[in-house]
Amino acid sequence: MSLLTTAPATGAGPGTGRRRVLLAPVTAAPCRPLTYSDLKGLLWTDVMYRATSHLADVTYRYSHTTYDCTEQTAGFWEYLDRVQGDIDYSGLSEDAIGELYARYRAEGGPVPPDALRPYREAVEHHGWTHPAAARILESRASQYAALGLYDPGLGRHQPPAFGLEEALACLNSQGFCLDLRADGGPVYLDATRYGIPLRQIVSADGQPGHLACTLRELLPLAAEYDEVVLLFDQGLDPDYRLLQRVLSYAGPDVHRVALGGVPADGHLRSSRHGAGKKRHDHTVADLIDDIGAGHEPAVTSLGVRLYFIAALGPGQRQPFRSDLLRCCLDRARRLLDREPAGYGSPAEAAAALTTALDGHRGRDHLYVDPYRLTSGLLAGHRGLPVAELATAVFT
């Protein structure tokens, strides 16, 4: 199992009393270009990770490996091999691959379990990734770098610590599993004692769903942390209420952070349908192309965070507006042009940063609230060490 954690701050370590926080955002499948909605979630998680790591030991868990065995991803790979054959994906753009994914969602239909099994085994036992996914992940890595995003291991094989049967056994021991496979039925996540409806997580033919994979990943981790933070799309709220209930059983405080998508051209499109040029032009690659020229990397990094976090907020009422994004880029430039606060020593500057960050987390949680912190920076609240925050959290 591979965990990606921050390096301990000065003085941190065993016996220092630093709390442990696990950030677990939804992972975007490597099947299509990233959309503005994807970018919003990534930026929120990035600021939360960087800010909270100054106050606690933080793990940012983001593994595409965990979900490569789902029908969404493995089914797409089977479709590509069956319909496209053995082609060279290294020369395809992510938009072209996204169009193939959109076609798969529209035409592919259910993939038989026997056809998926070789792909699942290759992922689980050999760390294999389809060439189309490798091409997508290569593009994402360059986009992360362009926007100053921390890379939590896009190119790494990061399997969950639990196999499917281990996860189901753990759920069963906690009274959360209704397994009907012996009678030819599916497996359900059972939290009915809390008034929550049954939720199928494994089909009758043995195919795990997205939630089953999430449980494989997070069940063995939850007990190691004081706090678990789940960041997810608002449309997944029923599943994440269930997940919160199950993970809380292991002991940590579990918080849900629901984020709305970013409507473009008046529409909020589902990521399940891909993102190719024939559908719309609003991908992260397009945004980088639009704003990259004429802006220093630090201005771009801070400006997109000011826009996607503070200006758009956690909901999905605000559509994407390029004029407001450019205003945020201008605001970022002015903030970065400010003279440093002039603290007497590095220790005083670090103390001011810690105090500012500590003031932007809630009473009931350890993590720093990205919206409160970024909104304060955008509004120019007094007392915020702008230069220190920009360097440590936003760029």
Q: What is the pLDDT of residue 281?
A: 54
Sketch out the chain's domains with CATH numbers: 20-281 (3.40.50.620)
Q: What is the pLDDT of residue 6?
A: 35
For 174-224, the pLDDT digits (tens) are 999 999 999 999 999 999 999 999 999 999 999 999 999 999 999 999 999
Output the average pLDDT for the chain. 89
For 104-130, the pLDDT digits (tens) are 999 877 889 899 999 999 999 999 999
For 267-300, the pLDDT digits (tens) are 555 444 444 444 445 899 999 998 877 789 999 9
Residue 345 has pLDDT above 90, yes or no: no
Specify the DSSP element, H or E, that contains 137.
helix 131-146
Mean pLDDT over residues 326-353, rounded? 85
Residue 315 has pLDDT above 50, yes or no: yes
pTM above 0.75, yes or no: yes
CA-CA distance, 361 to 367, in Å (whole number)? 6
Q: What is the pLDDT of residue 4?
A: 37
User: How would you label 314-336 residue by residue, b for 16+ Cβ within 10 Å and e otherwise?
Assistant: eebeeebeeeebebbbebbeebb
Contacts by 265-271 with C-beta closer than 8 Å and gap 24+? 265/319, 266/319, 268/37, 268/316, 269/35, 271/28, 271/32, 271/35, 271/37, 271/38
Residue 327 has pLDDT above 50, yes or no: yes
CA-CA distance, 373 to 394, in Å (whole number)? 10
18 and 337 in contact (C-beta within 8 Å)? Answer: no
CA-CA distance, 167 to 381, in Å (whole number)? 47
Residue 140 has pLDDT above 70, yes or no: yes
Q: Which two tokens stand for residue 261?
A: 């998508």
